[in-house]
Chain A
């Protein structure tokens, strides 16, 4: 199965710790997107990356959150000094092409459920 992989599926962190969420896109995809889903809320865009570049981070909080997609290896969403409000499901999606004026399709991974205690 060459779908989008995310790990871990579940992550528990105490307040103040760091959370690292990993995403491996579908084979051949070089565009990665991170979304956050809060209970009873829709998915909210956080950041859009291509290999080694952040294209759009307008949905990501300015502090404590960072994302990268290195030349080799998975994309990483990093949350420093987590707080209870960071508890949510974090989803990664990948696409073959960018969305600029063209039809593209985003395929989602199973998500990482982060719980901050």
Chain B
């Protein structure tokens, strides 16, 4: 069974700071998706990365897929209180349909 390790588990920062969340595995994924989940709600898709080395930007969020397609990172610039939430990475197993999820990073941005 493939595993995805996310770090850090918890992150509490001040508004305006930068942060990076990591998602690592020893296995290769066909693609990797990042979600954000609010309490009591379902995960909301932020981005999908497919190609090794790919970098995608979504406003202040930058997502990178490792060259070997085993790891990914999410970087947030100038964090805002509205960025508070649970960030989940999920890898698509090669030749499978389901997603393998990390346990998530709980981000708190204080004003």
Using a CB–CB cutoff of 8 Å, the interface residues on chain A facing chain B are 4, 6, 31, 33, 35, 40-45, 48, 55-56, 59, 91, 93, 95, 98-111, 113
Contact = CB atoms under 8 A, between A and B. Distances in A.
B101 A108 contact: no
A41 B42 contact: no
Residue of B30, B43, B48, B94 contacting most chain A CB atoms (<10 Å): B43
Q: Which of B42, B43, B90 has its CB near the most chain A CB atoms (within 10 A)?
A: B42
A4 B104 CA distance: 22
B45 A111 contact: no
Interface residues of B, number: 27
Interface string B13-32: 00000000000000000110
Given A33-B97, A56-B98, A106 B88 contact: no
A31 B97 CA distance: 9
The CB with the most chain B CB atoms within 10 A, among A40, A45, A48, is that of A45
A35 B35 CA distance: 14
